[in-house]
Amino acid sequence: MKKKIPIIKVKTFATTQSIKLSEKAIERTKKAHGFFSEVGNMSVFVGRIFRETFSRNFEFKEFIRQCFEIGNKSLPLVAITGAIMGIVLTIQSRPALAEFGAVTMLPGMVAISIIREIGPVITALICAGKVGSGMGAELGSMRVTEQIDAMEVSATSPIKFLVVTRVIAATIMLPILVLFADAFGLMGSWAGYNIKGDMNFVLFFSRAFGSIDFMDFFPALIKSFFFGAVIGIVGCYKGFNAGRGTESVGKAANSAVVLASLLVIMVDMVAVQLTDMLQ
């Protein structure tokens, strides 16, 4: 008697589906691991920045140079953007207010909008694109050409010389740039108002500043410091931890802009909630 060999039926479709599900689970696990590793590495990096900030022998000359690079060279772009922002906001808001006969309220409305939200956020996003990408590309190229490694070998702290000076300069200069953006935005609003209306300079600004109080100006200025710190930390982190290949410089600059812009929006959301709770 020949024994019958049992036939094993394999469900290929179910097996394929289970393999795909397991691959997706592994991919999601890798992404989660990479995200938390990035958060941990950035936290350690921020801790090193704080430790080196309050240590001795602060690099004052490099700090002044970075203030010039961040502030003076970004001022024309910020001023032009602020002026255009004021003109556009005034021209677009005028028809809606004209329907209710409230055109005289336009200077105060534009001033509150620019000082509270539009000026700080737009300026921070501009600096995230210009300053953040510049820091990421500059430090990334220094990492690729092994200049940072040479500083570490020669007992020079690259964190203190390269990172701390840039982060503090960005933290201090961004609120100053925000003030210039607000000023040029209001001047652009006055110019936009006079395209279809007629209001002299003194009357326009008296109505604009008459609608502003301390709680409109102070929270916006405080959150500008945090915007600058976020841009400096992210730009330096991405450039300082760039890879060894030349293509990593472009990746560092690109990721610095994306992450800094996202964090600026998140910090602004938290700041708005806190301001609303305090009022």
Q: Is residue 65 part of a domain?
A: yes
User: What is the tens place of the pLDDT at every residue in 137-149?
Assistant: 898 888 888 888 8
Q: Is residue 205 part of a domain?
A: yes
Q: How far apart are alpha carbons 279 and 269 in whole angstroms?
A: 16
Q: Is residue 5 part of a domain?
A: no
Helices (H), 133-278: 133-144, 147-153, 158, 165-196, 201-210, 214-240, 247-278
SS3 199: coil
pLDDT at 227: 95
17-26, 80-89, 118-127, 128-137: segment of lowest average pLDDT? 17-26
Q: Is residue 234 part of a domain?
A: yes
Residues with Cβ within 8 Å of 162's Cβ and at least 6 positions away in sequence, in order, are 139, 142, 148, 151, 236, 240
Q: Is residue 11 part of a domain?
A: no
Domain holding 201, by residue range, is: 46-278
Note the pTM of the prediction, 2 decimals: 0.84
User: What is the tens place of the pLDDT at every residue in 196-239?
Assistant: 878 888 888 898 888 888 888 888 999 999 999 999 999 999 98
* Residues 166, 65 contacting (CB under 8 angstroms): no
Q: Is residue 68 part of a domain?
A: yes
Q: Is residue 3 part of a domain?
A: no
As for how many domains the chain has, the answer is 1
Q: Is residue 201 part of a domain?
A: yes
